[in-house]
Amino acid sequence: MLYRVTDPTGHITHFESASSDRSKAIIAVSISSTFTIPRGSFMLPTFCDLHLHAPQFLYQGTGLHLPLMKWLDEYAFKAEERIDGDHDLARRVYQRLAERLIENGTGAVLLFGTIKEETNLVLASVMQQAGIRALVGKLSMDISTRPTYTEHSASASLASAESFINNIEALMAPLPPHQRLVQPVLTPRFVPTCSNELLEGLGQLSARTGVMIQSHLAEARDEVDWVRQERGIDDFEVFEKANLLTPRTVQAHCTYLTPSEMSRLAEHGTSIAHCPLSNAYFSARRLPLREALHAGVKIGLGTDIAGGYSANVMGSMRWAVGVARMREGARIEGENVGPKEDAENAHAETNLGLDWLESMYMATRGGAEALGLECGVFKVGAPFDAQCLKLFDPETGRGVGALDFLDLESGSGDMTLSLEIVEKWWCLGDSRNRTDMWVQGRRLGQKTIV
Ligand code: GUN
Ligand code: FE
């Protein structure tokens, strides 16, 4: 079943079985163009990165020895302020980010931007031009440790958030609906930088406009302690009171949620952006991922540039599996793997591990579901958002990039794709395997592998 056809607006219209000639499978990416899937390659929906700070791409891989709140002061706020003050720099950073996203097979991304509205319009137009599906979040923050990097009142912040929504809509309006790739998203940075007045106003704005919401929830020890001390309650309750936990909300991290908060998150229909690499640095706890899935929470994967140092969602998949396996190992050893009240939880007998196929779901459809997008799946009516991954040379059986199949190479040209071969790609593959990519039927990054 490799013959897929999309209509001129980039949606899949029907499927046909592959011909008996195994050397060819044809895919039509629009009525007027066709693509032949070479043997030795497979198609996967594009990745969805559910949490990435676009301005922090400027300094990815820097200063990760610091705890979260210090790192934000030393690096994040400074870099974001610099980008807000220099639109040429912003454009250069965002264009390079778009190139890297395409190189890594990311076709949809939920972005944190900066405070200034105009800089976020630069980000939106760069993503739209690059052909990447992007939800762009103008930061809302009326409290800051950096007096030059803040909004000056809740009302000014709310006015700017609303103006940003209107400006993105104006940017998209001239385009036919299928070409509108960018949406605005309300983005209270996290509780420590937002007054209750601002949070409540954003909750009302989202209810009125239907615009999505993203933030950071229960991320790190220093952060949760700060909130409890300053507000007298946990992050969760602060967001809940402001009506910011909705089915339109994506919360990053959530490593410090209690089991009952996790169940309430599921009841609200709020999704989690799981960022296992950045959690390894900033959160002393691991996300109770299996428990969150059992509770019915929708989960996608985020790179969290620059709390995570890589924009490659494949890294997030590998870290998610590794961290879950270590939790499972700790459970078998009888260690307490969750918050204290979790010690006798209902899942004490449940395997807490995650397999690589589950991580592939979270990296594609899981993220798309969290964002209410139709992509992340190959089905009739879905947009054609796809990546083509070449794993071996069909003539020799020799692996592409970092892949070796020494025990499988026959040399007679009859090696076929199997789950085993795809698993090897999941473990070892990189951008050298990615020969093609489309978003809404538009071809983005094409390379020839020799
Ligand atoms: N919490 C608030 N802001 C940030 C940020 O920029 N990065 C991360 N990882 N956590 C945050
Ligand atoms: Fe983050």
Specify the pLDDT at position 34.
60
Of ligand 1's listed atoms, the one at least distance from the Cα of 275 is 9
Rg (CA), the chain: 22
Alpha carbon nearest to ligand 1 atom 7, residue: 307
Mean pLDDT of the chain: 91
Ligand 1, atom 9, residue with closest C-alpha: 307
- Are residues 253 and 387 both part of a single domain? no
412 shares a domain with 281: no
The Cβ of residue 348 has, within 10 Å, a number of other Cβ atoms equal to 12
Q: Say whether both 286 and 175 belong to one domain.
A: yes
Residue 44 has pLDDT above 70, yes or no: yes
**Which residues have any ligand 1 atom within 6 Å of their CB?**
53, 68, 72, 76, 189-190, 216, 219, 278, 282, 304, 307
Verify that 408 and 287 share a domain, yes or no.
no
32 has a pLDDT exceeding 50 = no
pLDDT at position 449 is 44
Give me the phi and psi of 85, to 5 degrees please: -95, 0
Please write the tens of the pLDDT for every residue from 218-246: 999 999 999 999 999 999 999 999 999 99
Do 37 and 65 belong to one domain? no
Whole-number Å distance, alpha carbon 300 to ligand 1 midpoint, is: 17
CA of 223 from ligand 2 middle (Å) equals: 13
Ligand nearest to the CA of 224: 1
Residue range 110-139: mean pLDDT, rounded: 98
For 412-443, how does the pLDDT look when each residue is reduced to its tens digit (9 = 90+)?
667 788 899 999 999 999 999 999 999 999 99
- Tell which residue, 313, 359, 376, has the closest CA to residue 105: 313
CA separation for the pair 413, 22 (Å, rounded): 11
Q: Does 168 share its domain with 288?
A: yes
pLDDT(176) > 60:
yes
What is the secondary structure of 208-273 as a DSSP string? HH--EEEEEES--HHHHHHHHHHHSS-HHHHHHHTT--STTEEEEE-TT--HHHHHHHHHHT-EEE
For the CA of 282, the nearest ligand: 1
Tokens of 233: 């309650």
Q: Average pLDDT, stretch 50-64?
A: 96
The answer on pLDDT for 298 being more than 50 is yes
Are the beta carbons of 433 and 56 closer than 8 angstroms?
Answer: no
Specify which residues 165 forms β-bridges with.
none
Domain range enclosing 282: 47-370
* Whether residues 341 and 424 fall in one domain: no
**448 lies in some domain:** no
194-213 pLDDT, tens digit each: 999 999 999 999 999 999 99
Q: Torsions phi, psi of 210, nearest 5? A: 80, 10
Residues 179 and 318 in one domain: yes
Q: What is the pLDDT of residue 424?
A: 96
Residues 314 and 386 in one domain: no
Task: Specify the pLDDT at position 14.
Answer: 72
Nearest to 143 by CA among 94, 186, 194: 194
CATH number of the domain residue 92 falls in: 3.20.20.140
Average of pLDDT values for 6-12? 80
With a cut of 60, say whether residue 307 has pLDDT above it. yes
Specify the number of domains making up the chain. 2
Give strand pairing partners of 447: none
Q: Residue 450 domain-assigned?
A: no
Tokens of 196: 């209750």
Helix axes 154-172, 196-209, angle to 10 degrees: 30
d(CA 67, CA 226): 13
Minimum mean pLDDT range among 208-212, 293-297, 341-345: 341-345
SS3 376: coil
Residue 140 alpha carbon to ligand 2 centre in Å = 14
Given pLDDT bands bounded at 50, 70 and 90, which one contains residue 1? very low
Give residue 346's Cα distance to chain centre.
30
Q: Please tell me whether residue 432 adopts helix, strand or coil conformation.
A: helix
Structure confidence at residue 18 (pLDDT): 60
Peptide bond into 252 cis (omega under 30): no
**Region 306-314: what's the mean pLDDT?**
97
Give the model's confidence band at 343: pLDDT under 50 very low, under 70 low, under 90 confident, else very high. very low
Q: From the alpha carbon of 76, which atom of ligand 1 is closest?
A: 6
Q: Which two tokens stand for residue 284?
A: 């002393």
Summarize pLDDT for 324-337 with one digit per residue, the tens: 999 999 999 998 88
Q: For the chain, report the end-to-end CA distance as a whole number of angstroms.
A: 27
Q: How large is the average pLDDT for residues 163-167?
A: 98
Q: Ligand 1: which atom is nearest the Cα of residue 278? A: 9
211 and 191 fall within a common domain:
yes
Tell me which of 370, 400, 428 is where a domain ends: 370
Residue 39: pLDDT band (50, 70, 90) is: confident
Task: Give the whole-angstrom CA distance, residue 87 versus residue 74.
Answer: 22
Whether the pLDDT of residue 146 is over 60: the answer is yes
Co-location of 36 and 55 in the same domain: no
Closest CA to 432 of 444, 416, 448: 448
Confidence band for 107, pLDDT divided at 50, 70 and 90: very high
413 within a domain of the structure (yes/no): yes
Q: How far away, in angstroms, is 216 Cα from ligand 2 center?
A: 6
Work out the angle at residue 323's Cα, subtended by the Cα atoms of residues 273 and 420, and round it to the nearest 5 degrees: 95
Contact yes or no for 181/131 (Cβ under 8 A): yes
Q: What is the pLDDT of residue 326?
A: 96
Token pair listed for 413: 């040209």
The pLDDT value recorded for residue 341 is 47
Task: Please check the confidence at residue 48 and state whether its pLDDT lies above 90.
Answer: yes
* Rounded Cα distance, 281 and 259, in Å: 23
Does residue 412 lie within any of the structural domains?
yes
Would you call 197 exposed, middle or buried from its count of C-beta atoms within 10 A (0-12, 13-18, 19+)?
middle
Ligand 1 pocket: which of 50, 53, 75 to mutate (most atoms <8 Å of CB)? 53
Mean pLDDT of 390-418: 85
CA dist 357 and 373 (Å) reads: 21
Residue with tokens 């791409």: 57
Same-domain status, 312 and 187: yes
Residue 155 has pLDDT above 90, yes or no: yes
Question: From start to end of 341-417, where are the E strands?
Answer: 386-390
